[in-house]
Structure 1
Amino acid sequence: MNFSKYLRFAVVGACALAACKGGPPTATKPGKYSSTTGIEYNTEEGMRVSDYQGIPEGPGLVFIEGGRTVLGSAEEDVAMTHDNIERTVTLASFYMDEAEVANIHWLEYLHFVRKDSAEEFYQSALPDTTVWARELSFNDPYVDYYLRYPGFRYFPVVGVSWLQANDYCTWRTAKVNERLAGEGDEGDSGSSKGGGLFGRKKKKGGDAGDAAEGTSEDGGKTKIAIENGNTLPNYRLPTEAEWEYAAQALIGTQETGNENQENKRIYPWDGRQVRNPYGKGMGQFLANFKRGRGDYAGIAGSLNDGAMITEYIYNYPPNDYGLYNMSGNVNEWVQDIYRPLSYEDVEDLNPFRRNGFLDPSEKYDKKGYQSLIDDHVRVYKGGSWRDVAYWLSPGTRRFMAEDSATATIGFRCAMINAGSNK
């Protein structure tokens, strides 16, 4: 390399280090040159750095700003499980579906699975509609109609196991990113030609950081890679800590400039009552749950919410994060396996139990019928249309085998907030 080339690198390197134009480099404005070597990006010699305008918008997701909180049950432990004692943790910001996954969403899933997958997998994706069947109750119509009849389109899907819910998350990730890829090819992202979310790959080869090729509908090559920021992170089930934090929605009790959390909620709304105390909706229930023995909906009239079983996923007021039905309607699967002492074992930053580490399944006598716990039971949260108000509190938790399903458990998806804490 000759002296003039060294000099040019020195000049551009100094300019980059001094952040000549517009301040220090950022993820969305990395600059033209490396701030450590001075080498120009997107040249034959330099590394490829794609245009990036921030994480693409994920359909149906609401941003949940993370922070410090106290997780755990705020209610009297009437079940005597002592499995969710209060402790202080910190959660990173994330995204969560504003409402439960509904029947229409699952039917869409089945539509594409039938087109793109083996018949065996399609059969495995079908919800268990027989969860409605009861020997001493006439729920027979729900067995046939609840999933497929148009009137139930935006009721939460049920009869879905934890394993099936995970498969849905995997499919949804692929389908949403496939759509983003198509939009990028057609220039819908608003970026300049060759850039933006999905610019076309113009030449073969490149270094290890280059994108993998994918073929668009018009035959063009798209650049799809994590490094390009042109895909959404994975849709997934929320962790138990994320779900509980989002359900509390304590951001609605926070005073500006005060880092002390002086109020805690029993439910995802203020107060100890389960009816709306204000305005035109005064007296109406704030969630879909069982009021008492034999009372699923109240008497006919203005205070009857009409929810004998599940209900429209947007039917009750959202919490302060904008999330609907974080209490009642259906319980919801979360990622964690169940252990009664998770609150003692997991870390205090993004707590999550993925396995039996520190609390192995061998300690639980399932073979001798003294326990129901092993590494295949998963936590579910939130209470349902068939549960009493105790289970509406975000700190309560129960568990069930990951391959089982009921008429009272559904789910919603979550996603990390990549590259930012706000």
Structure 2
Amino acid sequence: MMNFSKYLRFAVVGACALASCKGGPPTATKPGKYSSTTGLEYNTEDGMRVADYKGIPEGPGLIFIEGGRTVLGSQEEDVTMTHDNIERTVTIASFYMDEAEVANIHWLEYLHYARKDSSEEFYQSALPDTTVWARELSFNDPYVDYYLRYPGFRYFPVVGVSWLQANDYCTWRTAKVNERLASEGDEDGGSTKKKGGLFGKKNKGGDAAEGTEGDGKTKISIENGNTLPNYRLPTEAEWEYAAQALIGTQEPGNENQENKRIYPWDGRQVRNPYGKGMGTFLANFKRGRGDYAGIAGSLNDGAMITEYIYAYPPNDYGLYNMAGNVNEWVQDIYRPLSFEDVEDLNPFRRNGYLDPSEKYDKKGYQSLIDDHVRVYKGGSWRDVAYWLSPGTRRFMAEDSATAAIGFRCAMINAGSNK
């Protein structure tokens, strides 16, 4: 009877608190002192812990990509006759994406901590394959030694990285960023030291404050809201949607998508039609047979190989080099009919579901498709303009690497539909 009275009293108090609240209904950042369903008080000795939360912390290097409805698929004539990306309407949830490709300096930072914190075996597995520059009938030998490590190439995109290595990098980056948030305090999303969130002191009873472990060290958990979601490779649909950047063509208040793009910029050409840069290329790609940069004294895209990751104008989301420079790995395994198999909300092709690899005669050399080939997108310094269109797609074995494929990371927009 006594326990029932106690809970009844909590419920009455909670209900009164809710009824008298002038700030509106509870939200993720303002859940209130009491539960809106039971009236029980949070953060008491017996109550549920509800950590302070001010929103998702800011992830270094990320740009917010507002999601929505779009038409994915090839906007160019299918000159390869693969018919593997037919137009279809889908909806993509909002997410975050790196504003630029992961660069050599970022990978060297990864190698630094891999050598410091991991086994020699893992460090060796993280090394890019610099021999991707070597060609039997071309003198690219200096790039084998200098491209990754020479300071002048610091902010050129890392290449020679397989899909598997790119995934390992995403895992490391997640852990390292969240470790930094835990050690420095999260000014944007989590509790501060004074509030007892990330660095709270033990209470008088000896229990660790919310956000800490029993020994006073920071406890990193999803419930505390003091961490970022996982960095990861973008899905093919996310990548293509971000490359289209049709938000730049949309009229306010108009729900119809009346303009489309062949490339991540307006117009049907690959040159800048405006201002002082008129006539220059908007991406780093191969102009034609033997023409990678233009002529001396009048270089056009100006890049014989890769280029500075912030070169060329960004698209309307603020993303650099979503066409050209290097192709980019995405999460999806490759299947030619993904466009008709996957769902129309956040479409994604994963391993082991529909269209089994046994249908493809890889052993008989009639196919290159299995469950270990991944899609890459975007075109590169070594590709012609056809591959710059966001809807084009190719694939390669997940443990392979070339001098024309890099990557960038993405992240879910946790806790919001906007």
Q: TM-score range by the shorter chain?
A: over 0.9
Question: TM-score scaled to structure 1, two decimals?
Answer: 0.94
Cα distance 1:19–1:313, how it changes in 2: closer, same or farther (>3 A)?
farther
Contact 2:62 2:97 in 1 (8 A): yes
Match of 1:217 in 2: 214
Residues in 2 aligned to 1:275 and 1:190: alpha-carbon distance in whole angstroms: 48
Kept in 2, the 8 Å contact 1:332–1:411? The answer is: yes
Q: Deviations over 1:253-300 (max 9, x none)?
A: 000000100011000000001000001111111000000000000112
**Corresponding residue for residue 417 of structure 2:** 421
**Uncovered stretches (5+) of structure 2, i.e. residues with no partner:** none
Q: Distance in 2 between matches of 1:198 and 1:228?
A: 12
Residues 1:216 and 1:131: Cα distance change in structure 2 (over 3 Å)? farther
* SS across alignment from 1:407: coil
Q: Using a 3 Å threshold, how does the CA distance of structure 1 residues 188 and 65 change in structure 2: closer, same or farther? A: closer
Answer yes or no: is the 8 Å Cα contact 2:54–2:188 preserved in 1.
Answer: no
Once residues 237 and 63 of structure 1 are traced to their aligned partners in structure 2, the CA distance between those partners, rounded to angstroms, is: 15
Q: Partner of 2:247 in structure 1?
A: 251
**8 A Cα contact 1:211 1:224, kept in partner:** no
User: Does structure 1 retain, via aligned residues, the 8 Å contact 2:280–2:301?
Assistant: yes
Instruction: Report deviation, 1:21.
Output: 3.6
Pair 1:3–1:162, CA change in 2 (3 A):
closer
Maintained 8 Å contact 1:93/1:417: yes
Q: CA deviation at 1:8?
A: 3.0
Instruction: Report the Cα distance in structure 1 between the residues aligned to 2:196 and 2:110, rounded to whole angstroms.
Output: 31
- Relative to structure 1, the CA distance from residue 213 to residue 45 in structure 2 (aligned partners, 3 Å threshold; closer, same or farther) is closer
Q: Residues 197 and 230 of structure 1 are in contact (CA less than 8 Å); yes or no, is this contact kept in structure 2? A: yes
SS in 1 for 2:272: coil
**Cα distance in 1 for residues equivalent to 2:167 and 2:233:** 7
Structure 1, unpaired ranges of 5+:
none
- Count, aligned residues: 417
Per-residue deviation, residues 159-205 of structure 1 (Å, max 9, x unmatched)? 00000000000000000000000012999977462444554x62699
Distance 2:130 2:401 in 1: 10
In structure 1, distance between residues paired with 2:349 and 2:87: 17
Distance 1:186 1:269 in 2: 35
The farther-off stretch of 364-373 and 353-362 is 353-362
Given the superposition, is the C-alpha separation of residues 196 and 318 from structure 1 closer, same or farther in structure 2, using an over 3 Å criterion? farther
CA distance in 2, matches of 1:367, 1:188: 52
> Tell me, what secondary structure is at the counterpart of 1:18?
helix
CA gap of 1:185–1:415, structure 2 versus 1, over 3 A, is: closer
1:286–1:216 CA distance, 2 compared to 1 (3 A): farther
Distance 1:6 1:47, change over 3 A: closer
1:367-410 CA-to-partner distances (Å, cap 9, x unmatched) read 00000000000000000000000000000000000000000000
Matched-pair contact (CA < 8 Å) for 1:17–1:36? no
Counterpart of 1:204?
204
Conserved? CA contact 2:76–2:262, under 8 Å: yes
Residues 328-376 of structure 1: CA distance to partner in whole angstroms, max 9, x if unpaired?
0000000000000000100000000111411000000000000000000
Are the structure 2 counterparts of residues 40 and 316 from structure 1 closer, same or farther at C-alpha, using a change threshold of 3 Å? same
SS in 1 for 2:111: helix
Does the Cα contact within 8 Å between 1:213 and 1:222 map onto a contact in 2? no
Q: Work out whether residues 63 and 318 of structure 2, in 8 Å CA contact, stay in contact via their aligned partners in 1.
A: yes
SS in 1 for 2:14: helix
The verdict on how the C-alpha distance between 1:198 and 1:317 changes in structure 2, with shifts beyond 3 A counting, is: farther
Which of the residues 401, 418, 421 maps onto 2:397?
A: 401
**2:195 aligns to what?**
194
Does the Cα contact within 8 Å between 2:328 and 2:377 map onto a contact in 1?
yes
Mapped to 1, the partners of 2:386 and 2:283 lie a distance apart of 12
Q: Decide whether the 8 Å contact of 1:211 with 1:227 is kept in 2.
A: no
Query: What is the CA-CA distance between 1:217 and the residue it aligns to?
Result: 15
Summarize deviations over 1:310-344 as a string: whole Å, max 9, x none.
00000110000000000000000000000000001
CA separation of 1:185 and 1:351: change in aligned 2, threshold 3 A? closer
Distance in 2, matches of 1:211 and 1:323, equals 42
Q: Structure 2 vs 1, CA of residues 81 and 212 (structure 1 numbering), >3 Å: closer, same or farther?
A: farther
Conserved in 2, the CA contact under 8 Å of 1:52 and 1:196?
A: no
How far did residue 11 of structure 1 move?
2.7
Maintained 8 Å contact 1:224/1:230: yes
The offset of 1:2, in angstroms, is 6.2
Q: Aligned residue for 1:15?
A: 16
Instruction: Evaluate the alpha carbon distance shift between residue 182 and residue 134 of structure 1 in structure 2; reply closer, same or farther with a 3 A threshold.
Output: same
Quote the offset at 1:214 in angstroms. 9.2
Structure 1 residues 399 and 19, CA gap change in structure 2 (3 angstroms): farther
Match of 1:215, SS state, is coil
Measured after TM superposition, the shift of residue 14 of structure 1 is 1.6
CA contact (8 A) 2:189 2:225 kept: no
